[in-house]
């Protein structure tokens, strides 16, 4: 481990202090540490600010919660850099250690997977693209959780046609349509009553949001199946990727989803039990 970039939550006071303390410790060990400029400015850690891309690092440290982890994944833009999540908030699905465990975690990571007893938990991501009705491309994005086509106007539904492998499945009148990864099954899809799917799977989950129709079930598809969502009504919609609005959609716009060739790589120490995170998150009893 030689290069470490720190990505931190802007509104958590503890994040700036932890970033400075961690950077001092890492530099004393002979490592190179920096922060992306917007984080350094927000947390008053300007001495760590650098224009160097996160993809140039050997490790990304995420200080915050799941939202910060998502932002760190997006900053990597598909680069195969390990990501270690440090939880500074409530129980998250993606973070691995608490703040007081960070020095030991970094020492273990630097020792290597054999000596440090860690491994990489690789998560499927989605490539999301938007085309106009004439076939011209609007843009491309990569999602760890989901891409959502959703209504723009309150009080109205949008009309959406879902195709699977190029063949029409059915049209929906709904508040929106979520296409998610297994990691995203516990994000927006969960609140829309979608299934919880182990992140060890590779699958595409298609979940309607408040559909105004009798068929309201989610679809769990093989990752080789290609999903498209087309806006077919006159009401405008928007595309959000991992919670960030990225494009405005009108009639004829087509959103396509495919598994990405890139994966998110999370550092895990010891055996990681997804179902135990769920159990704690929902306060489930033994019996």
CA–CA gap between residue 267 and residue 247 (Å, rounded): 32
Sign of CA dihedral 145, 146, 151, 152: positive
Span(s) in the chain for CATH 2.60.200.30: 125-261
Exposed/middle/buried for residue 10 (C-beta within 10 Å: 0-12, 13-18, 19+): middle
Residue 12, token pair as written in the block: 């958590």
- Separation in Å, CA 216 to CA 68, 103, 155, 177: 32, 47, 19, 11
The reply to whether 242 belongs to the active site is no
Q: What is the pLDDT of residue 1?
A: 66
Token digits for 180?
């998610």
Domain 125-261 CATH (choose: 3.40.50.1100, 2.60.200.30, 3.30.300.130, 3.40.50.800): 2.60.200.30
Asked if 168 and 179 count as a contact pair (C-beta separation under 8 A), the reply is no
Report the pLDDT value the prediction gives residue 272, as an integer from 0 to 100: 65
CB 54 within 8 A of CB 75: yes
Per-residue confidence band for 91, with pLDDT thresholds at 50, 70 and 90? low
What is the C-alpha to C-alpha distance for residues 20 and 252, in angstroms, rounded to an integer? 49
CATH of domain 3-116: 3.40.50.10330
pLDDT mean over 55-83: 96
Distance (Å) of CA 226 to CA 32, 47, 53:
42, 46, 32
- Which of 17-21, 128-132, 271-275 is the least confident region? 271-275
Q: Point out the catalytic residue in the list 66, 121, 175, 242.
A: 66
Whether the pLDDT of residue 267 is over 90: the answer is yes
Residue ranges of the chain that CATH labels 3.40.50.10330: 3-116
List the beta bridge partners of residue 4: 33, 59
Pair 183, 164: CB distance under 8 Å: no
Instruction: Give the CA distances from residue 145 to residues 51, 63, 107, 188, 238, in Å, rounded to whole numbers and listed in that order.
Output: 27, 19, 30, 8, 17
243: tokens are 């919670």
pLDDT tens, position by position, 213-239: 989 999 999 999 999 999 998 999 999
Phi-psi region of 64 (alpha: psi -120 to 50; beta: other; left: phi over 0): left
Predicted TM-score of the model (pTM) = 0.92
């Amino acid at each position: 481990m030689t290069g470490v970039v720190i990505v931190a939550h802007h509104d958590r006071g503890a994040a700036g202090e932890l970033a400075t303390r961690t950077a001092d410790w890492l530099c004393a060990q002979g490592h190179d540490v920096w922060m992306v400029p917007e984080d350094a400015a927000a947390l008053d850690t300007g001495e760590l600010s650098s224009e160097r891309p996160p993809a140039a690092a050997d490790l990304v440290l995420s200080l915050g919660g799941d939202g910060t982890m998502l932002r760190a994944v997006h900053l990597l833009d598909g680069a195969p850099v390990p990501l270690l999540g440090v939880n500074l908030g409530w129980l998250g699905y993606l973070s691995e250690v608490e703040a007081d465990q960070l020095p030991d975690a970094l020492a273990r990571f630097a020792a290597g997977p054999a000596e440090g007893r860690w491994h990489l938990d690789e998560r499927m991501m989605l490539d999301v693209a938007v085309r106009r009705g004439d076939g011209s491309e609007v843009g491309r994005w990569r999602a760890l959780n989901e891409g959502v086509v959703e209504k723009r106007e309150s009080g109205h539904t949008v009309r959406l046609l879902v195709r699977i492998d190029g063949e029409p499945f059915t049209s929906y009148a709904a508040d929106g349509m979520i296409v998610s990864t297994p990691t995203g099954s516990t994000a927006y899809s969960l609140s829309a009553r979608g299934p919880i799917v182990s992140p060890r799977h590779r699958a595409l989950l298609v979940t309607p949001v408040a559909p105004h129709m009798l068929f309201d079930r989610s679809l769990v598809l093989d990752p080789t199946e290609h999903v498209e969502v087309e806006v077919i009504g006159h009401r405008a919609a928007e595309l959000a990727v991992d919670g960030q609005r990225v494009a405005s959609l009108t009639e004829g716009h087509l959103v396509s989803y495919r598994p990405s060739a890139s994966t998110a790589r999370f550092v895990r120490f010891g055996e990681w039990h997804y179902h135990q995170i769920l159990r704690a998150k929902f306060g489930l009893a033994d019996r």
